[in-house]
Amino acid sequence: MKTLPPDWFLRVRLKMRHLQLFVALDEHRNIHRAASTLGMSQPAASKLLGELENMLEVTLFERQPRGVVPNWYGEILIRHARIVLAELHNAGDELTALNSGHGGTATVGTVDPAVSRLSCAIDRLHRRRPDLQFAVDVDVSHNLIDGLLEGQFDFVLARIPEEHSADIFLYEEIGEEDLCFVCRDGHPLCDRETVTIDELAHYTWAVQPHDGLLRQRVDALLLQRRARPPRQIVNTRSPLVSITLVDKSDVITVMSREVARFLCHPQRFHILPFPERISVKPYGLVRLRGRPLSPGATALMETFSTLGDGSVDSM
């Protein structure tokens, strides 16, 4: 592939239709179906793709009997096409918000333990800027970082997965996530001064699936203590589902201490006295290097950064 000049997209006459076609081909992996979703004929879509490949002097999609698959060049253009389209969508939202009398928007993704601090920041900022609109999505770090890369979020409160290069992010560490074991009030283990991992494993657990960082930390603890894993495990990413199961039975759940403090009423739930601290690696405020934030997102990020850990207590 030839070296591209800084204004290559102007020289090859890159169109919005190209960007939409890249995303549609990635989602459908079939030129006919991709063209149909865009209201184009298959020959027109094939011609559009072929023209760009010729101008770039590189193949973007591998043609296979049952469809097309993006190669590395195609993956790069698909990722950036999603970002451009998302940014234009966000620009539309901001323009609409201003036109309707609102002062802009901020879209944020967060892991569970940062929800309370983020809520405090939103509340504090909303008192000063009632015209701002906020959108918040709660998910695991891997999905949040993918969403950030695709332009779905202004910034996220998450961990950067190891498969991503840290060079493309700006990162401000927030802190570690302390874990705890929670049961219902009246559970057979409630009256213990301390509990062991073997005693906990005697009961059914409600905990993240194996790909969750919290679950991996607990599995590592079981291995370190040479303890048998619980005979029954309910896999769920939802703290609400976990705490509902705990409330109805002798199920034990593992969750962030920060989340437990907000979800678990002391007259109904009990944080079990495990004798050692369990934590997972720190999470932080993550945004993309070189991507400017909207005024609303900047105001929210600055408000969040000025809050101390104890600020959530005043909510």
Domain boundaries, the chain: 8-80, 92-175+282-314, 177-280
What are phi and psi for residue 166, nearest 5 degrees? -70, -15
What confidence score (pLDDT) does residue 58 get?
Answer: 86
Query: Is 288 strand, coil or helix?
Result: strand
Distance between CA 159 and CA 49 in Å, rounded? Answer: 36
Show pLDDT as tens, one digit a residue, over the chain (315 residues).
567 777 777 777 788 888 899 889 999 999 899 999 999 898 998 888 888 888 888 899 998 888 889 998 888 888 888 888 887 877 777 676 665 545 578 899 999 889 889 999 999 998 988 888 899 999 889 899 999 988 889 999 999 988 888 889 999 998 888 899 999 999 999 889 999 999 999 999 999 998 888 889 999 999 998 999 998 999 998 888 999 999 999 999 999 888 888 888 888 999 999 998 898 888 999 999 888 887 888 889 999 988 865 444 443
Q: Candidates 3.40.720.10, 3.30.360.10, 3.90.1150.10, 3.40.190.10; correct CATH number of 92-175+282-314?
A: 3.40.190.10
Tell me, yes or no, if the pTM score tops 0.85. no
Q: What is the CATH number of domain 177-280?
A: 3.40.190.10
Q: Which residues of 41-59 are buried (b: 16+ CB within 10 A; e: fewer)?
A: eeeebbebbeebeeebebe
CB 214 within 8 A of CB 208: yes
Neighbours of 314 (CB within 10 A): 9
Q: Candidates 1.10.10.10, 3.40.640.10, 2.40.110.10, 3.30.465.10; correct CATH number of 8-80?
A: 1.10.10.10
What confidence score (pLDDT) does residue 53 get?
Answer: 86
Q: Which residues of 131-155 are buried (b: 16+ CB within 10 A; e: fewer)?
A: ebbbeeebbbbbbbbbbbbbbbbbb
Domain 8-80 matches domain 92-175+282-314 at the CATH topology level: no
What confidence score (pLDDT) does residue 268 get?
Answer: 92
For residue 273 the two structure tokens come to 């006295």
